[in-house]
Structure 1
Amino acid sequence: MELLIAETGLEFEKSPNEVHQEDDEEQLEEVTFDRCFYIYGGPDLLEELEALSSHYALLFNRRKAKLLAEQKSLYDAKLQQIQQIFSLTADVEGNSEDSNKGKNIETLSGDSDVEMTKLCDSSVRRAADIASGFTPVLGGLSANDIIQRATDRLDTMHSECIHRLSELCCSAVSQLLILGKSVISSANKGKNGETEGETPKIDWPEEAVSKAKIIRHKAQSMSGNMETVSNSFITGTSEIVEAYLTAILSVSSDKQELPQSTVQEKANDITNHLRAGGATAAEKIQDALQYLAYVVLFTSMPTV
Protein backbone atom coordinates (compact mmCIF):
# COMPACT_ATOMS: atom_id res chain seq x y z
CA MET A 1 0.00 0.00 0.00
CA GLU A 2 2.81 2.43 0.89
CA LEU A 3 4.54 1.63 -2.43
CA LEU A 4 1.29 2.30 -4.31
CA ILE A 5 0.88 5.66 -2.61
CA ALA A 6 4.48 6.59 -3.34
CA GLU A 7 4.19 5.73 -7.04
CA THR A 8 0.74 7.22 -7.71
CA GLY A 9 0.86 10.16 -5.34
CA LEU A 10 -2.63 9.27 -4.14
CA GLU A 11 -3.63 9.17 -0.49
CA PHE A 12 -6.32 6.76 0.69
CA GLU A 13 -8.75 7.83 3.36
CA LYS A 14 -7.91 6.22 6.68
CA SER A 15 -10.48 4.69 8.98
CA PRO A 16 -11.45 6.73 12.07
CA ASN A 17 -9.77 4.14 14.30
CA GLU A 18 -6.46 4.48 12.41
CA VAL A 19 -6.62 8.27 12.59
CA HIS A 20 -7.43 8.18 16.31
CA GLN A 21 -4.56 5.78 17.00
CA GLU A 22 -2.07 7.93 15.07
CA ASP A 23 -3.27 11.06 16.90
CA ASP A 24 -2.69 9.33 20.25
CA GLU A 25 0.81 8.24 19.19
CA GLU A 26 1.69 11.75 17.97
CA GLN A 27 0.39 13.25 21.22
CA LEU A 28 2.62 10.98 23.29
CA GLU A 29 5.61 11.67 21.05
CA GLU A 30 5.13 15.44 21.35
CA VAL A 31 5.45 15.38 25.15
CA THR A 32 8.57 13.36 25.90
CA PHE A 33 10.92 13.60 28.86
CA ASP A 34 13.96 14.31 26.69
CA ARG A 35 12.19 17.14 24.88
CA CYS A 36 11.01 18.77 28.11
CA PHE A 37 14.40 18.18 29.75
CA TYR A 38 15.95 20.07 26.84
CA ILE A 39 13.46 22.95 27.22
CA TYR A 40 14.36 23.34 30.91
CA GLY A 41 18.09 23.43 30.10
CA GLY A 42 19.03 19.99 31.37
CA PRO A 43 21.52 19.06 28.61
CA ASP A 44 23.48 22.28 29.22
CA LEU A 45 23.77 21.47 32.92
CA LEU A 46 24.98 17.94 32.20
CA GLU A 47 27.43 19.27 29.64
CA GLU A 48 28.87 21.65 32.23
CA LEU A 49 29.19 18.80 34.72
CA GLU A 50 30.87 16.61 32.10
CA ALA A 51 33.36 19.38 31.31
CA LEU A 52 34.05 19.78 35.02
CA SER A 53 34.62 16.04 35.31
CA SER A 54 37.01 15.95 32.34
CA HIS A 55 39.00 18.89 33.71
CA TYR A 56 39.42 17.39 37.17
CA ALA A 57 40.15 13.93 35.76
CA LEU A 58 43.05 15.52 33.91
CA LEU A 59 44.25 17.30 37.04
CA PHE A 60 43.90 14.10 39.06
CA ASN A 61 45.93 12.03 36.61
CA ARG A 62 48.65 14.68 36.43
CA ARG A 63 48.98 14.83 40.20
CA LYS A 64 48.78 11.05 40.56
CA ALA A 65 51.65 10.66 38.07
CA LYS A 66 53.92 12.38 40.59
CA LEU A 67 53.09 9.95 43.38
CA LEU A 68 54.85 6.79 44.46
CA ALA A 69 53.46 3.48 43.18
CA GLU A 70 51.89 2.66 46.55
CA GLN A 71 50.16 6.04 46.69
CA LYS A 72 48.91 5.66 43.12
CA SER A 73 47.26 2.36 44.03
CA LEU A 74 45.73 4.00 47.08
CA TYR A 75 44.10 6.77 45.04
CA ASP A 76 42.95 4.36 42.33
CA ALA A 77 41.18 2.35 45.02
CA LYS A 78 39.70 5.50 46.51
CA LEU A 79 38.39 6.57 43.09
CA GLN A 80 36.64 3.22 42.71
CA GLN A 81 35.18 3.60 46.19
CA ILE A 82 33.79 7.05 45.40
CA GLN A 83 32.35 5.85 42.11
CA GLN A 84 30.67 3.04 44.02
CA ILE A 85 29.25 5.53 46.52
CA PHE A 86 27.94 7.60 43.63
CA SER A 87 26.10 4.58 42.25
CA LEU A 88 22.59 5.03 43.64
CA THR A 89 21.79 1.35 43.12
CA ALA A 90 24.65 0.27 45.39
CA ASP A 91 24.31 -0.20 49.14
CA VAL A 92 26.58 2.20 51.01
CA GLU A 93 27.12 2.28 54.74
CA GLY A 94 27.01 5.75 56.23
CA ASN A 95 27.74 7.08 59.69
CA SER A 96 25.91 9.62 61.83
CA GLU A 97 28.47 12.31 61.11
CA ASP A 98 27.90 12.04 57.36
CA SER A 99 24.14 12.13 57.85
CA ASN A 100 24.30 15.21 60.04
CA LYS A 101 26.49 17.06 57.57
CA GLY A 102 24.09 16.04 54.85
CA LYS A 103 21.33 17.74 56.81
CA ASN A 104 23.51 20.83 57.14
CA ILE A 105 23.79 20.94 53.36
CA GLU A 106 20.02 20.88 53.07
CA THR A 107 19.83 23.82 55.45
CA LEU A 108 22.55 25.77 53.68
CA SER A 109 21.09 25.06 50.24
CA GLY A 110 18.13 27.11 51.41
CA ASP A 111 16.08 28.50 48.55
CA SER A 112 16.82 25.71 46.09
CA ASP A 113 15.69 23.06 48.57
CA VAL A 114 12.52 24.97 49.32
CA GLU A 115 11.76 25.31 45.62
CA MET A 116 12.27 21.60 45.01
CA THR A 117 10.02 20.69 47.92
CA LYS A 118 7.35 23.10 46.69
CA LEU A 119 7.57 21.70 43.17
CA CYS A 120 7.29 18.13 44.44
CA ASP A 121 4.34 18.92 46.71
CA SER A 122 2.51 20.96 44.07
CA SER A 123 3.03 18.17 41.54
CA VAL A 124 1.52 15.59 43.87
CA ARG A 125 -1.45 17.88 44.49
CA ARG A 126 -1.83 18.52 40.77
CA ALA A 127 -1.98 14.79 40.02
CA ALA A 128 -4.65 14.35 42.70
CA ASP A 129 -6.64 17.34 41.39
CA ILE A 130 -6.64 16.07 37.80
CA ALA A 131 -7.89 12.67 38.94
CA SER A 132 -10.42 13.78 41.57
CA GLY A 133 -11.87 16.48 39.35
CA PHE A 134 -12.71 14.01 36.60
CA THR A 135 -15.74 12.20 38.06
CA PRO A 136 -17.97 15.30 38.45
CA VAL A 137 -17.65 16.27 34.76
CA LEU A 138 -18.96 12.91 33.53
CA GLY A 139 -22.51 13.25 34.79
CA GLY A 140 -25.16 13.22 32.06
CA LEU A 141 -22.73 12.58 29.20
CA SER A 142 -23.17 10.05 26.43
CA ALA A 143 -20.82 7.08 26.06
CA ASN A 144 -18.89 8.76 23.24
CA ASP A 145 -18.51 11.97 25.24
CA ILE A 146 -17.31 10.02 28.26
CA ILE A 147 -14.68 8.32 26.13
CA GLN A 148 -13.52 11.65 24.72
CA ARG A 149 -13.36 13.26 28.17
CA ALA A 150 -11.38 10.31 29.52
CA THR A 151 -8.96 10.49 26.60
CA ASP A 152 -8.44 14.23 27.08
CA ARG A 153 -7.96 13.84 30.83
CA LEU A 154 -5.37 11.12 30.33
CA ASP A 155 -3.49 13.38 27.90
CA THR A 156 -3.51 16.11 30.54
CA MET A 157 -2.19 13.72 33.18
CA HIS A 158 0.61 12.60 30.86
CA SER A 159 1.64 16.10 29.82
CA GLU A 160 1.61 17.50 33.37
CA CYS A 161 3.70 14.65 34.74
CA ILE A 162 6.38 14.79 32.06
CA HIS A 163 6.75 18.57 32.31
CA ARG A 164 6.93 18.56 36.10
CA LEU A 165 9.26 15.56 36.21
CA SER A 166 11.60 17.24 33.72
CA GLU A 167 11.62 20.48 35.68
CA LEU A 168 12.29 18.65 38.94
CA CYS A 169 15.10 16.64 37.33
CA CYS A 170 16.75 19.78 35.94
CA SER A 171 16.54 21.40 39.36
CA ALA A 172 18.21 18.34 40.89
CA VAL A 173 21.01 18.31 38.32
CA SER A 174 21.51 22.03 38.92
CA GLN A 175 21.85 21.43 42.66
CA LEU A 176 24.44 18.72 42.10
CA LEU A 177 26.40 21.12 39.91
CA ILE A 178 26.21 23.73 42.67
CA LEU A 179 27.45 21.20 45.23
CA GLY A 180 30.34 20.30 42.96
CA LYS A 181 31.29 23.95 42.63
CA SER A 182 30.99 24.32 46.40
CA VAL A 183 33.47 21.47 46.91
CA ILE A 184 35.89 23.21 44.54
CA SER A 185 35.34 26.56 46.20
CA SER A 186 35.93 25.07 49.64
CA ALA A 187 39.22 23.55 48.47
CA ASN A 188 40.32 26.83 46.93
CA LYS A 189 39.40 28.66 50.12
CA GLY A 190 42.16 26.76 51.88
CA LYS A 191 44.60 28.32 49.43
CA ASN A 192 43.41 31.90 49.10
CA GLY A 193 40.99 32.27 52.00
CA GLU A 194 38.09 33.29 49.75
CA THR A 195 35.06 31.59 48.20
CA GLU A 196 33.08 32.47 45.11
CA GLY A 197 30.16 34.77 45.83
CA GLU A 198 27.43 32.63 44.23
CA THR A 199 28.66 29.35 45.70
CA PRO A 200 26.98 28.24 48.96
CA LYS A 201 29.38 28.16 51.90
CA ILE A 202 29.38 24.59 53.18
CA ASP A 203 31.74 23.20 55.80
CA TRP A 204 32.89 20.18 53.82
CA PRO A 205 34.93 17.42 55.50
CA GLU A 206 38.47 17.05 54.20
CA GLU A 207 38.15 13.33 53.45
CA ALA A 208 36.88 12.53 49.94
CA VAL A 209 34.73 9.55 50.93
CA SER A 210 32.86 11.63 53.49
CA LYS A 211 32.19 14.30 50.86
CA ALA A 212 30.93 11.65 48.47
CA LYS A 213 28.52 10.21 51.04
CA ILE A 214 27.08 13.64 51.76
CA ILE A 215 26.49 14.35 48.08
CA ARG A 216 24.98 10.89 47.60
CA HIS A 217 22.60 11.55 50.50
CA LYS A 218 21.43 14.69 48.73
CA ALA A 219 21.04 12.93 45.38
CA GLN A 220 19.01 10.14 46.98
CA SER A 221 16.66 12.68 48.51
CA MET A 222 16.09 14.39 45.16
CA SER A 223 15.63 11.06 43.39
CA GLY A 224 13.03 10.18 45.99
CA ASN A 225 11.14 13.38 45.18
CA MET A 226 11.05 12.49 41.49
CA GLU A 227 9.85 8.97 42.23
CA THR A 228 7.08 10.40 44.40
CA VAL A 229 5.92 12.68 41.58
CA SER A 230 6.01 9.90 39.00
CA ASN A 231 4.06 7.51 41.23
CA SER A 232 1.46 10.18 42.00
CA PHE A 233 0.64 10.67 38.34
CA ILE A 234 0.61 6.92 37.69
CA THR A 235 -1.89 6.54 40.53
CA GLY A 236 -3.93 9.41 39.10
CA THR A 237 -4.01 7.68 35.72
CA SER A 238 -5.48 4.55 37.33
CA GLU A 239 -8.10 6.65 39.13
CA ILE A 240 -9.18 8.23 35.85
CA VAL A 241 -9.69 4.79 34.31
CA GLU A 242 -11.74 3.70 37.33
CA ALA A 243 -13.95 6.79 37.06
CA TYR A 244 -14.33 6.21 33.32
CA LEU A 245 -15.40 2.57 33.80
CA THR A 246 -17.95 3.53 36.44
CA ALA A 247 -19.43 6.24 34.22
CA ILE A 248 -19.50 4.16 31.03
CA LEU A 249 -21.23 1.29 32.84
CA SER A 250 -24.00 3.63 33.95
CA VAL A 251 -24.86 4.69 30.38
CA SER A 252 -24.30 1.44 28.49
CA SER A 253 -27.13 -1.08 28.40
CA ASP A 254 -25.06 -3.87 26.84
CA LYS A 255 -21.93 -4.57 28.86
CA GLN A 256 -20.59 -6.74 26.04
CA GLU A 257 -20.39 -3.72 23.76
CA LEU A 258 -18.59 -1.39 26.14
CA PRO A 259 -15.77 0.45 24.31
CA GLN A 260 -13.31 0.00 27.15
CA SER A 261 -10.24 -1.09 25.25
CA THR A 262 -9.37 2.29 23.68
CA VAL A 263 -9.25 4.18 26.97
CA GLN A 264 -7.62 1.31 28.86
CA GLU A 265 -4.92 0.87 26.20
CA LYS A 266 -4.23 4.59 26.20
CA ALA A 267 -3.95 4.56 29.99
CA ASN A 268 -1.53 1.63 29.80
CA ASP A 269 0.58 3.46 27.20
CA ILE A 270 0.66 6.60 29.32
CA THR A 271 1.58 4.64 32.45
CA ASN A 272 4.47 3.07 30.56
CA HIS A 273 5.55 6.52 29.34
CA LEU A 274 5.45 7.90 32.89
CA ARG A 275 7.50 4.99 34.22
CA ALA A 276 9.99 5.44 31.39
CA GLY A 277 10.16 9.16 32.17
CA GLY A 278 10.85 8.44 35.83
CA ALA A 279 13.57 5.96 34.87
CA THR A 280 15.16 8.48 32.50
CA ALA A 281 15.09 11.16 35.19
CA ALA A 282 16.86 8.78 37.58
CA GLU A 283 19.50 8.09 34.91
CA LYS A 284 20.14 11.84 34.51
CA ILE A 285 20.71 12.17 38.26
CA GLN A 286 23.01 9.16 38.16
CA ASP A 287 25.02 10.67 35.29
CA ALA A 288 25.32 14.01 37.09
CA LEU A 289 26.46 12.27 40.26
CA GLN A 290 29.18 10.24 38.54
CA TYR A 291 30.57 13.40 36.94
CA LEU A 292 31.49 14.61 40.44
CA ALA A 293 33.77 11.67 41.31
CA TYR A 294 37.00 13.27 40.07
CA VAL A 295 36.01 16.65 41.51
CA VAL A 296 35.53 15.19 44.98
CA LEU A 297 38.71 13.11 44.88
CA PHE A 298 41.08 15.70 43.42
CA THR A 299 40.01 18.45 45.82
CA SER A 300 40.92 16.12 48.70
CA MET A 301 44.40 15.28 47.39
CA PRO A 302 47.38 16.96 49.04
CA THR A 303 49.47 19.23 46.86
CA VAL A 304 52.55 17.41 45.58
Structure 2
Amino acid sequence: ELEALSSHYALLFNRRKAKLSAEQKSVFDGKLKEVQQIFDLSNEIDAGTDSNKGKTVERGNEGSSDEMKNLHDSSVGKAAEMAAGFTNALAGLAANDIIQRTTGRLDSLHSEGVHRLSEMCCFAVSQLLTFGKSIISLANKTEEEEVDGNKVNIEWPEDVSAKAKIIRINVQTMIGYLEAVSNSFVTGISDVTEAYQASIKGVTAESPTAVPKTSVQEKASAFSEHLRADQITAIRFINSKVIPLNYAGAHTDD
Protein backbone atom coordinates (compact mmCIF):
# COMPACT_ATOMS: atom_id res chain seq x y z
CA GLU A 1 0.00 0.00 0.00
CA LEU A 2 2.92 2.33 0.71
CA GLU A 3 4.37 1.50 -2.70
CA ALA A 4 1.03 2.23 -4.37
CA LEU A 5 0.76 5.55 -2.56
CA SER A 6 4.30 6.43 -3.61
CA SER A 7 3.68 5.55 -7.27
CA HIS A 8 0.46 7.55 -7.35
CA TYR A 9 2.03 10.70 -5.96
CA ALA A 10 5.18 10.32 -8.02
CA LEU A 11 2.88 10.47 -11.05
CA LEU A 12 1.02 13.53 -9.72
CA PHE A 13 4.31 15.18 -8.77
CA ASN A 14 5.73 14.73 -12.27
CA ARG A 15 2.49 15.83 -13.97
CA ARG A 16 2.42 19.01 -11.93
CA LYS A 17 6.12 19.58 -12.52
CA ALA A 18 5.64 19.32 -16.30
CA LYS A 19 3.29 22.33 -16.21
CA LEU A 20 5.71 24.56 -14.34
CA SER A 21 8.25 27.09 -15.50
CA ALA A 22 11.94 26.21 -15.34
CA GLU A 23 12.32 28.17 -12.11
CA GLN A 24 9.31 26.48 -10.51
CA LYS A 25 10.58 23.06 -11.62
CA SER A 26 13.84 23.78 -9.85
CA VAL A 27 11.93 24.58 -6.65
CA PHE A 28 9.93 21.36 -6.95
CA ASP A 29 13.08 19.30 -7.48
CA GLY A 30 14.66 21.03 -4.51
CA LYS A 31 11.73 20.06 -2.28
CA LEU A 32 11.96 16.44 -3.36
CA LYS A 33 15.73 16.32 -2.84
CA GLU A 34 15.41 17.87 0.61
CA VAL A 35 12.78 15.34 1.67
CA GLN A 36 14.93 12.48 0.34
CA GLN A 37 17.90 13.71 2.36
CA ILE A 38 15.82 13.99 5.53
CA PHE A 39 14.39 10.50 5.08
CA ASP A 40 17.90 9.06 4.68
CA LEU A 41 18.58 8.20 8.33
CA SER A 42 22.31 7.88 7.64
CA ASN A 43 22.43 11.65 7.14
CA GLU A 44 23.04 13.92 10.11
CA ILE A 45 20.52 16.75 10.04
CA ASP A 46 19.12 19.42 12.31
CA ALA A 47 15.84 17.79 13.27
CA GLY A 48 14.50 20.75 15.20
CA THR A 49 10.70 20.98 14.85
CA ASP A 50 7.71 22.29 16.71
CA SER A 51 7.14 19.60 19.33
CA ASN A 52 3.39 20.24 19.23
CA LYS A 53 3.20 19.33 15.55
CA GLY A 54 2.86 15.84 14.13
CA LYS A 55 0.81 14.64 17.06
CA THR A 56 -2.35 12.63 16.74
CA VAL A 57 -5.50 14.41 17.80
CA GLU A 58 -7.11 11.71 19.91
CA ARG A 59 -10.63 10.39 19.43
CA GLY A 60 -11.36 8.43 22.58
CA ASN A 61 -8.68 5.75 22.95
CA GLU A 62 -8.07 5.39 19.23
CA GLY A 63 -4.97 6.44 17.35
CA SER A 64 -2.79 6.68 20.42
CA SER A 65 0.63 8.08 19.58
CA ASP A 66 1.95 6.11 22.55
CA GLU A 67 1.12 2.70 21.11
CA MET A 68 4.71 1.96 20.08
CA LYS A 69 5.90 2.90 23.57
CA ASN A 70 3.22 0.64 25.04
CA LEU A 71 4.45 -2.23 22.86
CA HIS A 72 7.99 -1.48 24.04
CA ASP A 73 7.05 -1.35 27.71
CA SER A 74 5.01 -4.55 27.65
CA SER A 75 7.72 -6.38 25.68
CA VAL A 76 10.56 -5.31 27.96
CA GLY A 77 8.44 -6.28 30.94
CA LYS A 78 7.68 -9.67 29.41
CA ALA A 79 11.37 -10.39 28.78
CA ALA A 80 12.24 -9.50 32.37
CA GLU A 81 9.35 -11.60 33.69
CA MET A 82 10.42 -14.66 31.70
CA ALA A 83 14.00 -14.44 32.98
CA ALA A 84 13.26 -13.43 36.58
CA GLY A 85 13.75 -15.98 39.34
CA PHE A 86 14.99 -18.71 37.05
CA THR A 87 17.71 -19.70 39.51
CA ASN A 88 15.01 -20.55 42.04
CA ALA A 89 13.10 -22.49 39.39
CA LEU A 90 16.12 -24.76 38.94
CA ALA A 91 16.77 -25.32 42.63
CA GLY A 92 16.74 -28.98 43.66
CA LEU A 93 16.48 -30.36 40.12
CA ALA A 94 18.61 -33.13 38.69
CA ALA A 95 21.06 -32.31 35.91
CA ASN A 96 18.86 -33.58 33.08
CA ASP A 97 15.87 -31.69 34.44
CA ILE A 98 17.94 -28.51 34.67
CA ILE A 99 18.95 -28.89 31.03
CA GLN A 100 15.38 -29.59 29.93
CA ARG A 101 13.93 -26.69 31.92
CA THR A 102 16.60 -24.29 30.66
CA THR A 103 16.18 -25.36 27.05
CA GLY A 104 12.45 -24.80 27.30
CA ARG A 105 12.87 -21.33 28.77
CA LEU A 106 15.40 -20.35 26.11
CA ASP A 107 13.02 -21.54 23.39
CA SER A 108 10.23 -19.47 24.92
CA LEU A 109 12.37 -16.34 25.21
CA HIS A 110 13.52 -16.65 21.62
CA SER A 111 10.01 -17.27 20.25
CA GLU A 112 8.51 -14.43 22.27
CA GLY A 113 11.31 -12.08 21.24
CA VAL A 114 10.78 -12.82 17.55
CA HIS A 115 7.02 -12.33 17.97
CA ARG A 116 7.46 -8.98 19.72
CA LEU A 117 9.94 -7.68 17.14
CA SER A 118 7.58 -8.70 14.32
CA GLU A 119 4.67 -6.97 16.04
CA MET A 120 6.64 -3.75 16.48
CA CYS A 121 7.93 -3.83 12.91
CA CYS A 122 4.38 -4.22 11.56
CA PHE A 123 3.15 -1.35 13.71
CA ALA A 124 6.00 0.90 12.57
CA VAL A 125 5.19 0.29 8.90
CA SER A 126 1.46 0.84 9.48
CA GLN A 127 2.34 4.10 11.23
CA LEU A 128 4.34 5.22 8.19
CA LEU A 129 1.33 4.48 6.01
CA THR A 130 -0.83 6.53 8.37
CA PHE A 131 1.59 9.44 8.12
CA GLY A 132 1.60 9.27 4.33
CA LYS A 133 -2.19 9.15 4.06
CA SER A 134 -2.56 11.98 6.55
CA ILE A 135 -0.19 14.28 4.66
CA ILE A 136 -1.94 13.54 1.36
CA SER A 137 -5.36 14.06 2.92
CA LEU A 138 -4.21 17.42 4.28
CA ALA A 139 -2.80 18.49 0.91
CA ASN A 140 -5.97 17.50 -0.95
CA LYS A 141 -8.52 18.88 1.51
CA THR A 142 -10.15 22.18 0.69
CA GLU A 143 -11.72 24.49 3.21
CA GLU A 144 -15.18 23.45 2.04
CA GLU A 145 -14.54 19.76 2.58
CA GLU A 146 -15.61 18.14 5.79
CA VAL A 147 -13.03 16.22 7.77
CA ASP A 148 -13.51 12.47 7.43
CA GLY A 149 -14.16 11.20 10.95
CA ASN A 150 -12.65 7.83 10.07
CA LYS A 151 -9.26 9.28 9.21
CA VAL A 152 -6.50 9.84 11.73
CA ASN A 153 -6.30 13.54 12.47
CA ILE A 154 -2.65 14.58 12.72
CA GLU A 155 -1.54 18.17 13.14
CA TRP A 156 1.18 18.92 10.58
CA PRO A 157 3.30 22.03 10.04
CA GLU A 158 2.93 23.72 6.65
CA ASP A 159 6.61 23.46 5.70
CA VAL A 160 7.51 20.38 3.64
CA SER A 161 10.87 19.80 5.33
CA ALA A 162 9.28 20.18 8.77
CA LYS A 163 6.79 17.42 7.90
CA ALA A 164 9.64 15.18 6.76
CA LYS A 165 11.62 15.86 9.94
CA ILE A 166 8.63 14.88 12.09
CA ILE A 167 8.36 11.58 10.23
CA ARG A 168 12.11 11.05 10.60
CA ILE A 169 11.98 11.68 14.36
CA ASN A 170 9.08 9.24 14.72
CA VAL A 171 10.93 6.58 12.73
CA GLN A 172 14.07 7.02 14.83
CA THR A 173 12.01 6.76 18.01
CA MET A 174 10.28 3.59 16.84
CA ILE A 175 13.61 2.04 15.85
CA GLY A 176 14.99 2.92 19.27
CA TYR A 177 12.10 1.12 20.95
CA LEU A 178 12.60 -1.91 18.71
CA GLU A 179 16.32 -2.06 19.53
CA ALA A 180 15.55 -1.86 23.25
CA VAL A 181 13.11 -4.77 23.01
CA SER A 182 15.63 -6.90 21.12
CA ASN A 183 18.27 -6.13 23.74
CA SER A 184 15.88 -6.99 26.58
CA PHE A 185 15.27 -10.49 25.22
CA VAL A 186 18.99 -11.00 24.57
CA THR A 187 19.59 -9.97 28.19
CA GLY A 188 16.89 -12.39 29.32
CA ILE A 189 18.60 -15.21 27.44
CA SER A 190 21.90 -14.26 29.08
CA ASP A 191 20.33 -14.22 32.56
CA VAL A 192 18.75 -17.65 32.05
CA THR A 193 22.06 -19.03 30.78
CA GLU A 194 23.90 -17.71 33.82
CA ALA A 195 21.31 -19.30 36.12
CA TYR A 196 21.76 -22.59 34.27
CA GLN A 197 25.54 -22.46 34.55
CA ALA A 198 25.40 -21.83 38.30
CA SER A 199 22.84 -24.58 38.88
CA ILE A 200 24.49 -27.23 36.72
CA LYS A 201 27.85 -26.47 38.31
CA GLY A 202 26.42 -27.07 41.76
CA VAL A 203 24.74 -30.33 40.77
CA THR A 204 27.75 -31.80 38.97
CA ALA A 205 30.03 -30.83 41.85
CA GLU A 206 27.92 -32.91 44.22
CA SER A 207 27.39 -35.80 41.84
CA PRO A 208 29.57 -35.78 38.72
CA THR A 209 27.64 -36.95 35.68
CA ALA A 210 28.06 -36.78 31.94
CA VAL A 211 26.52 -33.38 31.24
CA PRO A 212 26.88 -31.77 27.81
CA LYS A 213 29.15 -28.80 28.35
CA THR A 214 28.20 -26.71 25.37
CA SER A 215 24.73 -27.62 24.08
CA VAL A 216 22.78 -25.15 26.25
CA GLN A 217 25.34 -22.37 25.83
CA GLU A 218 25.41 -22.92 22.07
CA LYS A 219 21.62 -22.74 21.89
CA ALA A 220 21.61 -19.54 23.95
CA SER A 221 24.31 -17.99 21.78
CA ALA A 222 22.48 -18.96 18.59
CA PHE A 223 19.18 -17.52 19.85
CA SER A 224 20.87 -14.25 20.83
CA GLU A 225 22.45 -13.96 17.39
CA HIS A 226 19.11 -14.73 15.74
CA LEU A 227 17.43 -11.94 17.69
CA ARG A 228 20.17 -9.47 16.79
CA ALA A 229 19.86 -10.48 13.14
CA ASP A 230 16.07 -10.09 13.31
CA GLN A 231 16.55 -6.65 14.83
CA ILE A 232 18.80 -5.59 11.95
CA THR A 233 16.35 -7.02 9.40
CA ALA A 234 13.41 -5.22 11.00
CA ILE A 235 15.26 -1.89 11.06
CA ARG A 236 16.29 -2.25 7.43
CA PHE A 237 12.70 -3.08 6.50
CA ILE A 238 11.35 -0.03 8.34
CA ASN A 239 13.98 2.19 6.70
CA SER A 240 13.04 0.81 3.28
CA LYS A 241 9.42 1.78 3.89
CA VAL A 242 10.36 5.39 4.58
CA ILE A 243 11.59 5.75 0.99
CA PRO A 244 8.10 5.41 -0.58
CA LEU A 245 7.06 8.49 1.40
CA ASN A 246 9.44 10.72 -0.58
CA TYR A 247 6.82 11.93 -3.05
CA ALA A 248 4.04 12.04 -0.48
CA GLY A 249 6.26 14.10 1.81
CA ALA A 250 7.19 16.46 -1.02
CA HIS A 251 3.58 16.74 -2.21
CA THR A 252 1.99 20.10 -1.48
CA ASP A 253 -1.02 22.01 -2.66
CA ASP A 254 1.08 25.08 -3.53
Fold shared per TM-score above 0.5: yes
> Matched residues in 2 for 1:57 and 1:192: separation?
26
RMSD: 2.2
Whether contact under 8 Å (1:134, 1:240) holds in the other structure is yes
Q: Which runs of 4+ in 1 moved over 6 A?
A: 254-257
Specify which of 218, 239, 242 is matched with residue 265 of structure 1: 218
- Aligned residue identity for 2:154: I
Specify which of 74, 78, 81 is matched with residue 126 of structure 1: 78
More off after superposition, 110-119 vs 168-177: 110-119
- Aligned residue identity for 1:276: A
2:13 alignment counterpart:
60
2:98 alignment counterpart:
146
Whether contact under 8 Å (1:176, 1:289) holds in the other structure is yes
> Matched residues in 2 for 1:210 and 1:255: separation?
67
Cα deviation per residue 1:36-82 (whole Å; 9 max; x = unaligned)?
A: xxxxxxxxxxxx11110011011111111122223323322321221
Specify which of 94, 100, 108 is matched with residue 156 of structure 1: 108
The structure, 1 or 2, with the larger RCO (C-alpha pairs under 8 Å, 6+ apart) is: 2
> What TM-score do the two structures reach when normalised by structure 1?
0.76
Counting only pairs closer than 5 Å after superposition, residues 49-198 of structure 1 correspond to structure 2 as 49-97=2-50, 99-102=51-54, 105=55, 108=58, 111-190=63-142, 192-198=144-150
Alpha carbons of structure 1 residues 107 and 196: separation in structure 2 relative to 1, 3 Å = closer
More off after superposition, 187-196 vs 87-96: 187-196
- Aligned residue identity for 2:20: L
More off after superposition, 260-269 vs 88-97: 88-97
2:228 alignment counterpart:
275
> Matched residues in 2 for 1:119 and 1:264: separation?
29
Percent of aligned pairs with the same amino acid: 53
> Matched residues in 2 for 1:279 and 1:95: separation?
27
Whether contact under 8 Å (1:188, 1:194) holds in the other structure is no
Unaligned runs of 5+ in 2: none
- Aligned residue identity for 2:9: Y
How far the C-alpha of 1:255 sits from its partner, in A, is 8.3
Cα deviation per residue 1:224-272 (whole Å; 9 max; x = unaligned)?
A: 1111111100111111110010001001138896523111111111111
Alpha carbons of structure 1 residues 60 and 250: separation in structure 2 relative to 1, 3 Å = same
- Aligned residue identity for 1:260: K
Specify which of 224, 233, 238 is matched with residue 190 of structure 2: 238
Normalized per residue, which structure has more helix? Answer: 1
Unaligned runs of 5+ in 1: 1-47
> Matched residues in 2 for 1:257 and 1:87: separation?
54
Whether contact under 8 Å (2:83, 2:191) holds in the other structure is yes
Q: SS where residue 149 of structure 2 aligns? A: coil
> Matched residues in 1 for 2:220 and 2:65: separation?
33
How far the C-alpha of 1:206 sits from its partner, in A, is 2.0
Aligned pairs, how many? 251
Whether contact under 8 Å (1:185, 1:196) holds in the other structure is no
Whether contact under 8 Å (1:230, 1:278) holds in the other structure is yes
Cα deviation per residue 1:115-149 (whole Å; 9 max; x = unaligned)?
A: 33222111111100111142222111122221111
How far the C-alpha of 1:172 sits from its partner, in A, is 1.6
How far the C-alpha of 1:214 sits from its partner, in A, is 1.0
> Matched residues in 2 for 1:148 and 1:203: separation?
53
Alpha carbons of structure 1 residues 227 and 290: separation in structure 2 relative to 1, 3 Å = same
